[in-house]
């Protein structure tokens, strides 16, 4: 294995990445910005030094000694944060929703059980959506599968790189399950039916784990899944693969909490429109929730209690929350949506955490990703002002230590037609 490919392989598992030793690594120093980090007070006149892919120093201006080779970026009057993360997108796997040939976000099958499907297989680092998301401060996204009851495995993509290997920090991020609005997927199931089948799947996986050699699909599997799917479910049963359940109704949330507890699943909940109703149970179970901040009003019969202060109430109850747009082309709206969460009562620092550090913690990538910390990858956004405010914009964006272009296909179109 070459040094390069070994590094890429290490990068793919994220947490264990160590920078390859190099001579004369170029350094970038972002100086005099106000640095906002989860769990810290704002640091005015900060200096953040990037070397290679990582943050190597965070200091006050007075404690910084510039070296001659440093590239200095003036952040005076600016705000520096981690790059934003939307954990629930289809960026890289869905180019144009209504053109079937342009997306790779679902396993083409009638079977509702698709645990072995990894959406990473379809990730296209040349997608036009990537630059559009970057321009509004996103540096990483969760890439999620769609369709079915067990939809498959999501991936974590950093919005940089020429190959999937370079972009994907985690190819098997979590197993996604839809226990939600049946119109969103093609599982064709109601909640009770979904829970029934899910339990059956977990039973099958347990049977399989206990006797892999003796397992026969026809004889042992109620839901008719094969060994490749079961291997993935076994990882979930062993707590090695997180399970994201998309669910809204309060009663269903409680059922899923019980299911996860009974089966030892590392559970993450998504959507969670009525989470506020059972926030104490969520806090007690220490289950993180990914919330859509604009979800308000009875959009369907499983989300009759959806309200805009859901994120605020969950946070106040002690639940770890991340925010998501649920969009791909407009995942760039994440900062506006975070602003709306603040408008609805979520404290500003909690909102920043929810779009930067919390997604990394929730998915176990906090060794490399999240709030700016020495040793982590340098995924940073320099803003003209409050990142959630509509008047602000990204001044500079860094992903894995590299300053990336803010040009998009759209800026080119503007220039052509202005």
Partner 1 sequence: MNVRAFVTEATRAGLAVALACGCVPDNVAFGPARSAADAAAPTLLTKVEVADAPWRTEALEQHPASIDGAPAIIFRGARLLVGDGTEIPVGHVVVVRGRITAVGEGPGEAPAGARVLDVSGKTITPGLIDTHSHMGVFPMPAAAAHRDGNEMTASTTAAVRAIDAVWAHDPAFQRALAGGTTTVQVLPGSANLIGGRATTLKLVPSNTAEGMHFKGAPDGLKMACGENPKRVYGNRTQAPMTRMGNLAGQRTAFLAAKKLIAQWEQFRVTELQRQTQHRDATQRFAAETKDRETKRAACAQKTARARDCRQWEASFAKESPKPPEPLEPRLPPDRDLGAETLAAAIEGRVLVHVHCYRADDMTRMMALADEMAFSIRSFHHALDAYKIRDVLAKRRISVSTWADWWGFKLEAWDGIPENLALIHASGGIPILHTDSDEGVRRMNQEASKAMWSGRHAGLGITDAEAIRWVTMNPAWALGIDAWVGSLAVGKDADLVVWDRDPFSVYAHAERVFVDGLERHQRGAPGRPRSDFEATP
Q: Which is nearer to partner 1, 95 or 165 (CB)?
A: 95
Nearer to partner 1, 203 or 308 (CB): 308
Least distance to partner 1, CB of residue 214, Å: 46
Q: Give the shortest CB-410-to-partner 1 separation in angstroms.
A: 4
Residues in contact with partner 1 by the rule CB under 8 A: 95-99, 128-129, 132, 181, 183, 294, 296-301, 303-304, 329-330, 332-333, 336, 339-340, 342-343, 388-391, 393, 410-411, 413-414, 417-418
Nearer Cβ to partner 1, position 231 or 389? 389
Nearer to partner 1, 57 or 384 (CB): 384
Residue 35: CB minimum distance to partner 1, A: 22
In this structure, are residues 223 and 204 in contact, taking their beta carbons and an 8 Å threshold?
yes
CB of 100 to partner 1, least distance (A): 12
Nearer to partner 1, 285 or 381 (CB): 381
Q: How far is the CB of 189 from partner 1 (least distance, A)?
A: 17
Residue 404 Cβ vs partner 1, minimum distance, rounded to whole Å: 18
Of the pair 223, 312, the CB lying nearest partner 1 is at 312
Retrieve residue 102's tokens. 């342009």
Minimal distance in Å, beta carbon 124 to partner 1?
Answer: 14
Query: Between 275 and 401, whose beta carbon lies closer to partner 1?
Result: 275
């Amino acid at each position: 294995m070459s040094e390069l490919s070994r590094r890429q392989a290490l990068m793919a598992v994220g947490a264990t990445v160590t920078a390859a030793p190099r001579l004369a690594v170029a350094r970038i120093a972002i100086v005099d910005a106000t640095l906002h980090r989860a769990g810290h007070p704002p640091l005015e006149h900060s200096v953040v030094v990037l070397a290679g892919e990582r943050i190597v120093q965070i200091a006050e201006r007075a404690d910084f000694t510039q070296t001659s080779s440093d590239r200095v970026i003036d952040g005076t009057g600016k705000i520096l944060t981690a790059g934003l993360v939307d954990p629930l997108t289809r960026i890289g796997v869905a180019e144009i929703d209504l053109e079937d040939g342009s997306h790779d976000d679902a396993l083409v099958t009638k079977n509702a059980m698709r645990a072995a499907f990894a959406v990473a297989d379809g990730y296209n680092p040349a997608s036009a959506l990537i630059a559009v998301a970057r321009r509004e401060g996103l540096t990483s996204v969760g890439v999620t599968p769609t369709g079915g009851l067990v939809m498959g495995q999501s991936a974590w993509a950093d919005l940089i790189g020429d190959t999937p290997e370079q972009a994907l920090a985690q190819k098997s991020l979590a197993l996604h399950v839809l226990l939600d609005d049946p119109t969103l997927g093609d599982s064709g199931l109601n909640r009770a039916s979904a829970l029934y089948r899910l339990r059956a799947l977990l039973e099958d996986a347990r049977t399989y784990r206990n006797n892999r050699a003796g397992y026969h699909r026809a004889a042992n599997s109620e839901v008719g899944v094969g060994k490749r799917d079961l291997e993935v479910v076994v990882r979930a049963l062993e707590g090695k693969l997180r399970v994201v359940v998309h669910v809204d109704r309060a009663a269903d949330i409680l059922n899923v909490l019980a299911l996860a507890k009974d089966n030892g699943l590392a559970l993450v909940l998504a959507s969670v429109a009525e989470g506020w109703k059972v926030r104490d149970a969520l806090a007690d179970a220490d289950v993180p929730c990914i919330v859509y901040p604009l979800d308000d009003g009875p959009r369907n019969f499983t989300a009759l209690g959806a309200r805009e202060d859901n994120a605020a109430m969950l946070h106040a109850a002690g639940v770890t929350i991340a925010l998501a747009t649920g969009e791909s082309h407009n995942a760039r709206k994440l900062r506006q949506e975070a602003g709306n969460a603040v408008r609805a009562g979520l404290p500003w620092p909690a909102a920043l955490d929810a779009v930067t550090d919390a997604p990394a913690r929730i998915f176990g990538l906090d060794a490399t990703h999240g709030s700016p910390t020495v040793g982590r990858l340098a995924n940073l956004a320099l803003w003209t002002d409050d990142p959630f405010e509509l008047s602000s914009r990204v001044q500079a964006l860094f992903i894995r230590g590299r300053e990336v272009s803010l040009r998009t296909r759209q800026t080119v179109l503007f220039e052509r037609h202005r």
